[in-house]
Amino acid sequence: ETGVTQTPRHLVMGMTNKKSLKCEQHLGHNAMYWYKQSAKKPLELMFVYSLEERVENNSVPSRFSPECPNSSHLFLHLHTLQPEDSALYLCASSQKIGPSNQPQHFGDGTRLSIL
Amino acid sequence: KQEVTQIPAALSVPEGENLVLNCSFTDSAIYNLQWFRQDPGKGLTSLLLIQSSQREQTSGRLNASLDKSSGRSTLYIAASQPGDSATYLCAVRRAAGNKLTFGGGTRVLVKP
């Protein structure tokens, strides 16, 4: 496989459930990102990881918990979510963090629906 | 705080017509600007990346211009085809840090 792969593609969960989103990149990149895309709102950066270390958290509620066990894998653990958390969650990777003219590569996202 | 605006939010054109998509940003201290394409239910595909020192970038039927001082970029798609139907997003990267700030996108429909 090549590129950035996200699983599952679709997820429906209740507010009291705990689930995890998975992202895997096969590009040899050192930086990985989680974005949230809600209806009628621009794409928002949630977290940035560089070499498995979290370098940025954009005021994301603690009910979202990221994990980066190695430079190829990124998880987003979810618990006690709210209906407004329903969105498309996109993972991206890039060669490195910081100012760069290398583009970010995106996965196809996980469509999350909270009942 | 950087804000990125894309107008119009939606655009419908007949096949063969040229497309003009606009992106404006409030803070001109950018490192680069990227145009992406997003198909329904899919992730983003990078189309063009313009460095802050460049005025334009071209790839096939696509041409993107950048006027950093006025905070504007325009994506031109020549001789549009139904396969060009998608949402087009622009994003700016600031000079420091990791953040891409996205516009709300322009949803394009090219009618056969």
User: CA B18 to CA A49: how far, in whole Å?
Assistant: 40
Q: Is residue B107 within 8 angstroms of chain A, CB to CB?
A: no
Q: How many CA atoms lie within 13 A of A73 on its CB side?
A: 9
Find the largest Cα–Cα distance for chain A: 41
Report the candidate in B31, B46, B52, B86 with the shortest Cα–Cα distance to residue A105.
B46
Those residues of chain B that have pLDDT short of 50 are none
pLDDT at B99: 79
DSSP structural state of residue A72: T
pLDDT at B17: 97
Query: In terms of C-beta density within 10 A (0-12 exposed, 13-18 middle, 19 or more buried), how is residue A94 classed?
Result: buried
pLDDT at A17: 87
Cα dist. B27→B43, B50, B96 in Å? 26, 16, 13
Q: Looking at the complex, report in whole angstroms how far the Cα of residue B95 sits from the nearest Cα belonging to chain A.
A: 6
pLDDT in tens, B29-57: 899 999 999 998 889 999 999 999 999 99
pLDDT at A2: 60
Q: Is residue B74 within 8 angstroms of chain A, CB to CB?
A: no
Those residues of chain A that have pLDDT short of 70 are 1-2
